[in-house]
Amino acid sequence: MNLPTPAVVGIRGAQRLPRFALLLLCAAYVLPGLFGRDPWRQADLSSFGFMASIAQGHAPWWQPAIGGVPAEGGPLPYWVGALAIKALPFFDAAFAARLPFAVILGLTLVLVWYSCFHLACTEAAQPVAFAFGGEAHSIDYARALADGALLALMATLGLLQLGHETTPELLQLLASSLFLYGLAAAPYRPNKARWAALSSLPVLAASGAPIVAMVCAAAGAWLCNRSRYTEARALVKWLLLAGLLAALSAWEFNAWAWRINTSSPADLGLRMFNLLAWFSWPAGPLAAWTVWRWRAHWQRRHVLLPLVCAVIPIITSILMGGSDRALLLALPALALLAAFALPTLQRGFTAAMDWFSVFFFSASALFFWVYYSSMHLGWPAIPLANLRRLAQGFEPRFNALALFFAIAATIAWLALVRWRTAKHQHAIWKSLVLPAGGVALGWLLAMTLLLPPLDYARSNRPLVEQLRKYIPVNADCIATPEQALSTAAALEFQGHWRVDAKHALAASNCSYAIQASQTAIPEAWEKIAFVRRPTDRVSGFAVLRRR
């Protein structure tokens, strides 16, 4: 006996989001941060360093390295950036490396839309039929839910920064989204589903997540084997083949790396709860609501499939000690689950989400504009003084094009708020328009109005400029023992020095070195300067020269 679904959607509720507005919103989300900035410290800068090491001939293609330190995991993501650098020599290397990853983010959004569309087309996901007609048409309903899944993914806070970096996790995100699409499309697009499975899992393994790829192959085979769709059951052998190809690619690319944290803290459960709460907001709570409201249908593919695909990265994150980068792979599946919560939400809950979004993102936009006014008009004076105190040496610079886009985005946000609050809207995706639009607004304003201070604070270029005063350009090499790979990458690809990050000072042949200021200076070296980043207050670097 088939139980009635909790989805009650009329014809007006299945309106799809206007395509021009949706494309404009996606562009406002994907493109900011692509232009006018350096790679930022830690993962973004170190990943760019591996890409540049290949493109500039400092390391072989098969073994990317920074200062002699090889990369962990598979080299495939670094090949993507290195190929872009070599193919676009007339662009800045950092910008060229960033371009394909912007395309990867856009493809992820597209795959999430189509995955939700195919899941929503299944009979078990359809809304309740009304006694006298008037329920949503199946295709219109599926399109409206797919719009909601796309908005839910863009609204998640965890994707905001990690999705705009040039790191292996972004290629892993694309591969996991392609795998999700293959499972969702199997009953309707069997050929595309096969190609999606055969390509996604090897890419996932070659990008540094081979164990996740093989677990996904086994879980996908189990899901398809229990499906009542013949085409989905036929995908089982292709998924097993994809798992075998993933293992072979991980072995060939030397992508195996031990990342399980065996010394997890005692409060790991609380930390994971906090991480999930903010990282997956608002898709996470909506996904939990879907599991509850559709609990009588939890074995149906539109609930069970994304649920399994979300649980795998969550468990991986727990095993890695609460890694947010591992949790990133759960966001597409959580967005799919969140979409199926939309037809079941009460009006009071959607109103609360709307007003929270209006106040929070409007206040954030006002904050950005106040700081921008202080930087360029001198009023109010305190924000600029705070910036100069936090980032010593920072001086504002004006960009007319950035100001134009910031004004256009602010006007668009006001128009969106007016549209949403002026009258009652019936579309089921209405409660996610303001969260997704607010996240896009905040990111665009941060990457236009506040990009100069952010780039100055998070880039290593100010550190490189300080080191130029004490280390000659023609120095044979700089030793960077026990320093972060992002620091070595900045010296090598922004300072154009040869770097030895592999050996200790006693074993290095370099004439210059930098080390933590608290570390004792060996006898064969002398300290010639002390430098630190503009945002550092206590720690810094001692610049050493061989006696």
| Contact (Cβ atoms closer than 8 angstroms) between residue 229 and residue 186 | yes
Q: What is the DSSP letter of 12?
A: G
Q: Which residues contact 81 (CB under 8 A, 6 or more apart)?
A: 47, 48, 50, 51, 55, 96, 97, 100, 101, 166
* One domain, residues 248 and 380: no
What does the block give as tokens for 42?
């830690």
pLDDT of residue 523: 84
Stretch (H or E) spanning 336: helix 331-339
Confidence class for position 177, pLDDT limits 50, 70, 90: very high
What does the block give as tokens for 377?
């008009």
* One domain, residues 454 and 480: no
* One domain, residues 327 and 182: yes
* One domain, residues 329 and 373: no
> Which is nearest to 489 in space by CA: 18, 41, 184?
41
Confidence class for position 1, pLDDT limits 50, 70, 90: very low
361-388 pLDDT, tens digit per residue, is 999 999 999 999 999 998 999 999 999 8
Q: State which amino acid sits at residue 230.
A: T
Asked, as a colleague might, if the bond just before 380 is cis with ω within 30 of 0, I would say yes
Annotate 18-31 with b (16+ C-beta within 10 A) or e (fewer): eeeebeebbebbbb
Across the range 399-421, mean pLDDT stands at: 95
What does the block give as tokens for 420?
């949403």
Residue where a domain terminates, one of 343, 378, 402: 343
User: What share of the chain has pLDDT > 90, as a percent?
Assistant: 76
Is it the case that residue 484 has pLDDT exceeding 50? Answer: yes
Residue 61 lies in a domain: no
Across the range 497-522, mean pLDDT stands at: 88
* One domain, residues 477 and 378: no
Across the range 478-496, mean pLDDT stands at: 92
* One domain, residues 484 and 435: no
Of 301-310, 415-424, 481-490, the least confident: 415-424
Q: Which residues contact 428 (CB under 8 A, 6 or more apart)?
A: 9, 13, 14, 144, 145, 148, 342, 343
Across the range 388-392, mean pLDDT stands at: 87
Task: Look up the pTM and report it.
Answer: 0.95
Transcribe 290-327 into DSSP letters. HHHHTGGGTTSHHHHHHHHHHHHHHHHHHHTTS-HHHH
Residue 518 lies in a domain: yes
Across the range 307-325, mean pLDDT stands at: 94
Q: Helix/strand/coil (H, E, C) string of 462-525?
A: HHHHHHCCCCCCCCCCEECCCCCHHHHHHHHHCCCCCEECCCCHHHCCCCEEEEECCCCCCCCE
* One domain, residues 154 and 243: yes
Across the range 278-283, mean pLDDT stands at: 94
* One domain, residues 155 and 209: yes
Structural domain including 78 reads: 12-32+72-343
Stretch (H or E) spanning 546: strand 541-546
Is it the case that residue 319 has pLDDT exceeding 80? Answer: yes
Residue where a domain terminates, one of 458, 477, 505: 458
Across the range 515-525, mean pLDDT stands at: 84
* One domain, residues 402 and 417: yes
33-65 pLDDT, tens digit per residue, is 999 899 998 899 999 999 999 999 999 999 999
* One domain, residues 141 and 279: yes
**Structure-token match 């293609």, residue found:** 61
> Which is nearest to 201 in space by CA: 255, 231, 243, 238?
243
Residue 122 lies in a domain: yes
Domain count, the chain: 3
